[in-house]
Amino acid sequence: MNARSRSRLRVLLIALSLVGAQAAGAADLSGKPVHLVVPYPAGGTIDVVARLLGAQLRERWQVPVIVENRVGGNGAVGVEYVMRSAGDGSTLLFNGSPLVTVPHLQRTNYAVGRDLTAIVETAELDFVLTASKRSGITSMEALLARARAEPGRLNYGSGGNGSLPHLNVELLKSVAAIDLTHIPYKGNGLAVQALMAGEVDLTFVDTSSIMPLVRSGAVRALMVTGHRSIDGLAGVPWFDSLYPGRGIDAWHGLFGPAGMASDVVERIAADVRAVLGSSDLSRRFREMGFEPTGRGPAEFTAIVRRDDERWGAVIRANGIRGD
């Protein structure tokens, strides 16, 4: 065999080995059912989104994608189940921003950065700071002026101690140097009802819950988180424009146990990005108030780490405990 033939043979063998490696990675994902763990009850927002995503991945992977609701401990039961699972991609966690707040609010057996692999962010969610009509507050300038003139007089409702709406306002209070009184409710729906009735002056609620009321004029939008245009919020300032670098982002995404092979992680992330690109799934997400993102492992890991540190600091500074 001459030198040219030997060189061609080496190239062929390398190519075959790469094909074999890719096939092995695919087999890890497609050879058996994938269990998509949702740590909250069936019928909730995270559960609905997980089922929409799972249906698309089932078609792409050609294996059953089984959504399992493992409920308890404010989500900790499902998280701990996934962290003890095999890291071959057959057991995944679908969760949102509360994943990083819960360990700061109660004792858990998991730490996000230690026990989980952030695979792909599926979407982000904006919140809107809104005022009741009875409060007479029509702008952020008016809110800040009232709050500074009468510290603690204005109040705000949330879906409970340690909920994202609660933490959002506590972050605002710290960066704006104002004092507002917290009134927790058993869920965001009750907080919104209290806002409409004028029982509370303010609340910080996700766009899907509050935008119909904003568009109807039932409540007044004062500020929005995130960095994207939202129909009906023209002229409403963004949190980050008022307090640069302090903007709030909520998200949901896929996680696996710590130590997953990078090729498996990248394959799952790529497949999720592909299904998020489908017009049907992206449309359904936007109808629910979510903006599809598909941010991959490195970027998503940085986002999760940032929020873990930020919300941990807010919770500690205010001595917050979960309901």
**How much is the pTM?**
0.85
Percent of the chain with pLDDT over 70: 91
| Helix-helix angle 279-287:45-61, to 10 degrees | 180
Q: In the predicted model, is pLDDT for residue 188 greater than 80?
A: yes
C-beta separation of 268 from 54 below 8 A: no
Other CB atoms within 10 A of residue 226 CB:
20
The answer on pLDDT for 170 being more than 90 is yes
**CA atoms of 222 and 129, how far apart (whole Å):** 6
Q: Which pairing describes strands 155-158 and 127-132: parallel, antiparallel, or unpaired?
A: unpaired
For the domain made up of 127-224, give the CATH fold.
Answer: D-Maltodextrin-Binding Protein; domain 2 (3.40.190)
Write the burial class of residue 9 (CB in 10 Å: 0-12 exposed, 13-18 middle, 19+ buried): exposed
Whether residue 268 has pLDDT greater than 90: yes
Domain 31-124+249-318 top-level CATH class: alpha beta
Q: In the predicted model, is pLDDT for residue 130 greater than 50?
A: yes
Residues of the chain with CATH 3.40.190.10: 127-224
More confident residue, 134 or 31: 134
Share of the chain above pLDDT 90, in %: 76
What pLDDT is stored for residue 181 in this prediction?
A: 97
More confident residue, 129 or 208: 129
pLDDT at residue 231 in the model = 79
Q: Is the pLDDT of residue 142 over 90?
A: yes
Strand partners, 116: 257
Alpha-carbon distance of 174 to 91, in angstroms, equals 39
Which token pair is 38?
Answer: 């949702």
Mean pLDDT of 165-189: 94
Kind and range of the H or E run holding 36: strand 34-38
Start-end ranges of CATH 3.40.190.150 in the chain? 31-124+249-318
Residues sharing a CB contact under 8 Å with residue 264, sequence separation 6 or more, in sequence order: 25, 28, 29, 87, 88, 89
Using CA atoms, how far apart are residues 303 and 314, in angstroms rounded to an integer? 16
Stated length of the chain: 323
pLDDT at residue 178 above 80?
A: yes
Contact 106, 260 (CB under 8 A): no
Three-state secondary structure call for residue 229 = coil
Q: Under a CB-based contact definition with an 8 Å cutoff, are residues 54 and 67 in contact?
A: yes
DSSP string for residues in 274-310: HHHTSHHHHHHHHHTTEEEEEE-HHHHHHHHHHHHHH
Task: Give the separation between CA 19 and CA 15, rounded to whole angstroms.
Answer: 6
User: Residue 7 pLDDT > 50, yes or no?
Assistant: no
Please give the average per-residue pLDDT across 60-73, as a whole number: 96
pLDDT over 70 (residue 85): yes
Q: Which two tokens stand for residue 262?
A: 């990078």
pLDDT at residue 29, rounded to an integer: 61
Does residue 223 register a pLDDT over 90? yes
Q: Which of 111-125, 146-160, 191-205, 238-252 has the lowest mean pLDDT?
A: 238-252
Element (H, E) at 52: helix 45-61
Among 71, 68, 17, which residue's Cα sits nearest to residue 40?
Answer: 71
> At residue 16, does pLDDT exceed 70?
no
Report the first-to-last Cα separation within the chain, whole angstroms: 75
Task: Give, as one character, the DSSP assignment of residue 236.
Answer: P
Q: What is the rounded average pLDDT for all residues in the chain? A: 89
